[in-house]
Amino acid sequence: MKIVRTVTGMSALAERWRKRSFRIGLVPTMGALHAGHVSLVRAASRECDRVVASIFVNPLQFGPAEDLARYPRSPVRDRAALARAGADVLFAPSAAEMYPAGFSTAVEVTGPLVARLCGPRRPGHFRGVATVVTKLFHAVRPHAAWFGRKDAQQAAVILRMTRDLSFGIRILVVPTVRERDGLAMSSRNACLSARDRRAAPVLARALRAGRDAIRAGARRPAAVRSVMRKVLAAEPRVRVQYLEIVNAETLEPIGKLRGRVLLAVAAYLGGTRLIDNLTMRAGHR
């Protein structure tokens, strides 16, 4: 696996691949890789002739009070994991390479997709994500790019941006990979204390309880949220930031549970913020 650290180096390589009519796949990550990331790379390598995985801890998407400095990093393990998963290139630029002095441009998706969930709780976050993904798209020039459903709102934002700005890149969204106890894999899980790690699967349990309530016939979001809240309340270490049920495509609030819905939760365990979600079809009976 080749390691590329400059935008011009990456573009030149992509240009050569394009001349040979190779299909290029991109998997953007922030490193500290786990089986969720690996599933994205594997999915990309099944469909593409060349797969680029990027590792870039993007300062633009972290708020001033967030965990940029203590975001987990494991470059040596990551390289081995990517090579094993079938990546051809690791694109790992520095912050100065991505944002040289004078960098002043932002890409921003506006409206309902960012009005709820993580949008208001992490001001500037999705602007940082859209901006870095745009830069990665231009450097790698992929035909397709893979994202995880674990970050459902991020995937929705990227899809919207890719369509709105005519990037001509296929966006694929891959199911959430979980630990055996249900906890959604996340690089941030490494930041949890042993006791918080034991408490963390309650997020997934709450989502499943919500799903079960909907399957059992609950039709009001408030009723389902109260079922989920009860599950979460059993774990006093968890501080819930939001618990929402929205339309899975538009991310807008819904009055009645019908069609594809997204159940989403964000919570703190100690200083670590975790998110998780589940999509399902409601109102089929």
Identify whether 138 is a catalytic site residue.
no
* Extended beta strands in 92-150, E state: 144-148
Residue with Cβ nearer ligand AMP (44 or 224): 44
CA-CA distance, 8 to 14, in Å (whole number)? 10
| Cα(171)–Cα(147) distance, integer angstroms | 7
97 close to 5: Cβ distance less than 8 angstroms = yes
- Judge whether 191 and 70 are in contact, CB under 8 Å: yes
Euclidean distance between CA atoms 32 and 17, whole angstroms: 28
DSSP state of 220: -
Q: Is 102 exposed, middle or buried (0-12, 13-18, 19+ CB in 10 A)?
A: exposed
**Closer of 14 and 29 to ligand AMP (Cβ):** 29
Nearer to ligand AMP, 157 or 231 (CB): 157
Candidate residues 41, 85, 107, 151; the one interacting with ligand AMP per rule CB under 6 A: 151
Q: How far, in Å, are 146, 223, 256 from residue 29 at the CA level?
A: 10, 36, 36
Among 34, 37, 125, 143, the one annotated catalytic: 37
| Binding of ligand AMP by 273 (CB under 6 A) | no
Q: Pick the piece of the chain touching ligand AMP (CB under 6 A) from 115-123, 177-185, 210-218, 277-285.
A: 177-185
Of 156, 185, 245, 261, the one binding ligand AMP (CB under 6 A) is: 185
**Is residue 125 part of the contact set for ligand AMP (CB under 6 A)?**
no
Exactly one of 132, 177, 203, 231 binds ligand AMP (CB under 6 A); that residue is 177
Q: Is 45 in the site for ligand AMP (CB under 6 A)?
A: no
Applying CB under 6 A, the span of 64-72, 81-89, 99-107, 143-151 interacting with ligand AMP comes to 143-151
SS3 275: strand
Does residue 30 belong to the site contacting ligand AMP (CB under 6 A)?
A: yes
Q: Given CA atoms 139, 65, 103, 167 in this order, what sign does their dihedral have?
A: positive
Q: Minimum Å distance from CB 55 to ligand AMP?
A: 8
- When asked if residue 153 is in the footprint of ligand AMP (CB under 6 A), the reply is no
Q: Under the criterion CB under 6 A, does residue 265 sit at the interface with ligand AMP?
A: no
93 touches ligand AMP by CB under 6 A = no
Q: Which residues contact 148 (CB under 8 A, 6 or more apart)?
A: 36, 37, 40, 155, 173, 174, 176, 177
List residues near ligand AMP by CB under 6 A. Answer: 29-30, 36-37, 39-40, 147-148, 150-151, 174, 176-177, 184-187
List the catalytic residues: 37
